[in-house]
C-alpha cells in the first residue's frame, strides 16, 4: 500500500533548544502545534493539532513518542485518527526556529481525511462477508477509542487465519462518528451500503441511539460493545458492556470506606450515558448509605471546568462521581488535580480507561478510581495471551487496551461464534444465536441471556500513575 506524506510548519521566535525544551507544554496556547505531553521521551503519550487540512480545523493526532534526537527531531507513532508516523524536525531559522511536521498518510488515512473534508468516499461492495466497526477516531471520544480498531483488526486477523467464515475471509470496514451522533448515523449507513450486515458500535450512547433510529428500517444487526445504560436491546439491537447500576453497586461501598465519608457530587457530560448513570446513582447510592450533595452536567467538548470544580468544593463532597468521557475526562481530571481536589475527595469515574489515564499523566491521577469488567492489568491467562498477541502485532507504542477497546475484540469474537452456530451471517439468525450464551473471554466469563441482560464480574480499580490496579472484585 502506497504512503503519502503531508507537511506543515510553524516558525517560533526562540532558538531551537528553547523550542524543543518546551515542546508539549502549551496545548491550547498555540505553542508548536498545540502539543501536549508530560515529557519528551520515548513512550510518552502525546497529542498535537496539525494544520493538515487547510479548509477546516487542525487534525488532532494521538500517539506516543517513538524516538527523540534532542534539539532536532521527535518521532510520533500514532493510531488516531489513522495508523502512521509523524516526524517533527527543529532547525534554526534566522534568530528563531522552524518546526517542520511530516505525517505519513496511508489509504485508510487518505479516505478518512477526504470524508472529513466533506467528500463522498464510498467503499466498493464487499465480495466477502463484511463486519462494520463504528468508532470515534476524532472528536472528544478519540481517547477512549484509541485501540478499538486495533482490537477489531486483531480479532478478525486471527479468525481469518483459521479459515474465516464458511471458508471465506471476513473484511473489516471502519467508520468514524467524530463523536457526533448525526455523523455516526451517516457513517453507519455507509458501512451498511458497503455490505456490512452487522455493525459493532463502539461509541457514545448518543451515537448508538442515533444510529439505531437511522437504521430502523435496515436489515442490519447493531451491537453496542462498550458500557452503556441499556434500554435498546431487542431484535436487531444487542447491548453488551457494563451497566451503571451494576458498576455503582460494586463500587459504592469500597469507595465510601476508602473516603471515610458518604457525600457524593455527580458531574459529567450532558448526553444520555452520563444522565443514565446519574439516574442510577440517585437510586443506588442512597440505598447503600450515600448522600447526594450536588450535580452538574456540561456539553461534550468543554475545556474549562472551573465552575464545576468550585461547586464540588462548596458542596463539601467526600466523593465525586465523574461521568466525563475521553478528552473531557482528561481535561477535567487535570484541572481537579491543579486545584488540589484529590486532597478533599476521591473520584469514581466509571468510563475512565488506560488510554485516558495516559493523557492525564501520572501525577494528576491521584485519588482516581474506576469500575469496569476489564482492566489491562487483569491477571487471567486469557488476558495475558491477548496482550502478548496485541503487542506483537501493533508494537510497543500501540495504545493501551482498556474495557472500552477490549470489548470490541470480544464483540467480534461473540459475533463470529454466533455466525458459526447459525451457519450464516444473516442478521436475524446471528442475533438469535448471540443470546442465551455463556462465553469465556479475556475478561473472564460473560453471559448474555434471552432478554439481552449481560452478566460479568465487575472490578473496582485505583489509578496508580497511568495504570489501573484492581482493588476489589464482585
pLDDT for the residue 29: 44
- The three three-digit cell numbers of residue 200, written as one number: 459493532
User: Distance between CA 18 and CA 437 in Å, rounded?
Assistant: 59
Q: Distance between CA 285 and CA 319 in Å, rounded?
A: 11
Helix residue ranges, H only, 66-143: 107-116
310-327 per-position pLDDT tens digit: 999 999 999 999 999 999
DSSP 233: -
Task: Indicate the CATH number for domain 4-105.
Answer: 3.30.530.20
Residue numbers in the chain where pLDDT is lower than 70? 1-2, 26-31
Nearest-CA neighbor of 335 among 353, 317, 310? 310
Pull the grid cell for residue 85.
508516523
Cite the DSSP H helix spans in 288-436: 306-315, 326-338, 354-360, 381-394, 403-422, 427-433
Residue 189 · residue 213 · CB < 8 Å? no
CA 203 remoteness from chain centre? 8
- Residues 6 or more apart whose CB falls under 8 angstroms from that of 314 comprise none
- 250: Cβ–Cβ under 8 A, 6 or more apart, which residues? 371, 458, 459, 460, 472, 474
On whether the CB atoms of residues 333 and 346 are closer than 8 A, the answer is no
Provide the pLDDT for residue 123: 75
Here the cell at position 272 is 444520555
Residue 340 gets the label, from left (phi > 0), alpha (psi -120 to 50) or beta, of left
Pairing of strands 459-464, 368-372: antiparallel
- 448 vs 452: CA distance, rounded Å: 6
Helices 148-161 and 403-422: angle between axes, nearest 10 degrees? 30
β-sheet bridge partners, residue 12: 97
- Quick one: residue 193, left, alpha or beta (phi over 0 = left, psi -120 to 50 = alpha)? alpha
What is the tally of helices (H) and strands (E) in the chain?
13, 21
Residue spans per domain, the chain: 4-105
Bridge partners of 430, per DSSP, are: none
Using alpha carbons, select from 274, 277, 271, 208 the residue that is nearest to residue 236: 208
pLDDT at 38: 86
Select from 11, 23, 19 the least CA-distant residue to 94: 11
Judge contact between 47 and 118, C-beta under 8 A. Answer: no
Residue with cell 491477548: 386
- Report the run of H or E that residue 133 belongs to, with start and end: strand 130-135
295 bridge partner residues: 266
Cα angle for residues 399, 172, 407 (degrees, 5° grid) = 45
Burial class (CB in 10 A: 0-12, 13-18, 19+), 269: buried
Confidence (pLDDT) at 386: 97
CA gap 28, 205 in Å, rounded: 28
> Distance (Å, rounded) from C-alpha 215 to C-alpha 234?
14
Amino acid at each position: 500500500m502506497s504512503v503519502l506524506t503531508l507537511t506543515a510548519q510553524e516558525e517560533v521566535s526562540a532558538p531551537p533548544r528553547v523550542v524543543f525544551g518546551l515542546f508539549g507544554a502549551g496545548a491550547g496556547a498555540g505553542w508548536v502545534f498545540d502539543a501536549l505531553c508530560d515529557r519528551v521521551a520515548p513512550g510518552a503519550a502525546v497529542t498535537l493539532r496539525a494544520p493538515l487540512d487547510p479548509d477546516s480545523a487542525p487534525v488532532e493526532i494521538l500517539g506516543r513518542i517513538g524516538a527523540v534526537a534532542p534539539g532536532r527531531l521527535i518521532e510520533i507513532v500514532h493510531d488516531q485518527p489513522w495508523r502512521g508516523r509523524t516526524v517533527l524536525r527543529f532547525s534554526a531559522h534566522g534568530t528563531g526556529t522552524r518546526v517542520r511536521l511530516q505525517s505519513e498518510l496511508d489509504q485508510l488515512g487518505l479516505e478518512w481525511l477526504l470524508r472529513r473534508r466533506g467528500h463522498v468516499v464510498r467503499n466498493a461492495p464487499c465480495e466477502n462477508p463484511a463486519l462494520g466497526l463504528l468508532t470515534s477516531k476524532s472528536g472528544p471520544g478519540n481517547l477512549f477509542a484509541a485501540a478499538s480498531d486495533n482490537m477489531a483488526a486483531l480479532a478478525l486477523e486471527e479468525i481469518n487465519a483459521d479459515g474465516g467464515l464458511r471458508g471465506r475471509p471476513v473484511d473489516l470496514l471502519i467508520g468514524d462518528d467524530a463523536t457526533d451522533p448525526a455523523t455516526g448515523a451517516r457513517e453507519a449507513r455507509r458501512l451498511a451500503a458497503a455490505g456490512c450486515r452487522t455493525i459493532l458500535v463502539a461509541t457514545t450512547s448518543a451515537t448508538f441511539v442515533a444510529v439505531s433510529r437511522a437504521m430502523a428500517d435496515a436489515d442490519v444487526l447493531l451491537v453496542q460493545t462498550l458500557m452503556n445504560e441499556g434500554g435498546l436491546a431487542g431484535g436487531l439491537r444487542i447491548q453488551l458492556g457494563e451497566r451503571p447500576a451494576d458498576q455503582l453497586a460494586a463500587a459504592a461501598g469500597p469507595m465510601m470506606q476508602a473516603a471515610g465519608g458518604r457525600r457524593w457530587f455527580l458531574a459529567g457530560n450532558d448526553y444520555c450515558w452520563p444522565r443514565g448513570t446519574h439516574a442510577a446513582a440517585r437510586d443506588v447510592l442512597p440505598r447503600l448509605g450515600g448522600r447526594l450533595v450536588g450535580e452538574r452536567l456540561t456539553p461534550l467538548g468543554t475545556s474549562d471546568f472551573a465552575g464545576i470544580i468550585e461547586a464540588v468544593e462548596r458542596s463539601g463532597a467526600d466523593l465525586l462521581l465523574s461521568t466525563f468521557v475521553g478528552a473531557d475526562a482528561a481535561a477535567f481530571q487535570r484541572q481537579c488535580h491543579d486545584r488540589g481536589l484529590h486532597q478533599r475527595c476521591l473520584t469514581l469515574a466509571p468510563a475512565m480507561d488506560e488510554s485516558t489515564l495516559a493523557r492525564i499523566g501520572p501525577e494528576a491521577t491521584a485519588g482516581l478510581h474506576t469500575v469496569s469488567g476489564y482492566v489491562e492489568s487483569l491477571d487471567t491467562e486469557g488476558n495475558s495471551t491477548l496482550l502478548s498477541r496485541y503487542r506483537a502485532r501493533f508494537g510497543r507504542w500501540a495504545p493501551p487496551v482498556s474495557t472500552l477497546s477490549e470489548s470490541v475484540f470480544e464483540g467480534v469474537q461473540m459475533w463470529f461464534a454466533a455466525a458459526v452456530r447459525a451457519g450464516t451471517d444473516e442478521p436475524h439468525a446471528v442475533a438469535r444465536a448471540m443470546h442465551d450464551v455463556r462465553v469465556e473471554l479475556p475478561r473472564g466469563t460473560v453471559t448474555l441471556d434471552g432478554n439481552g441482560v449481560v452478566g460479568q464480574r465487575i472490578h473496582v480499580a485505583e489509578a496508580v500513575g497511568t495504570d489501573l490496579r484492581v482493588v476489589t472484585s464482585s
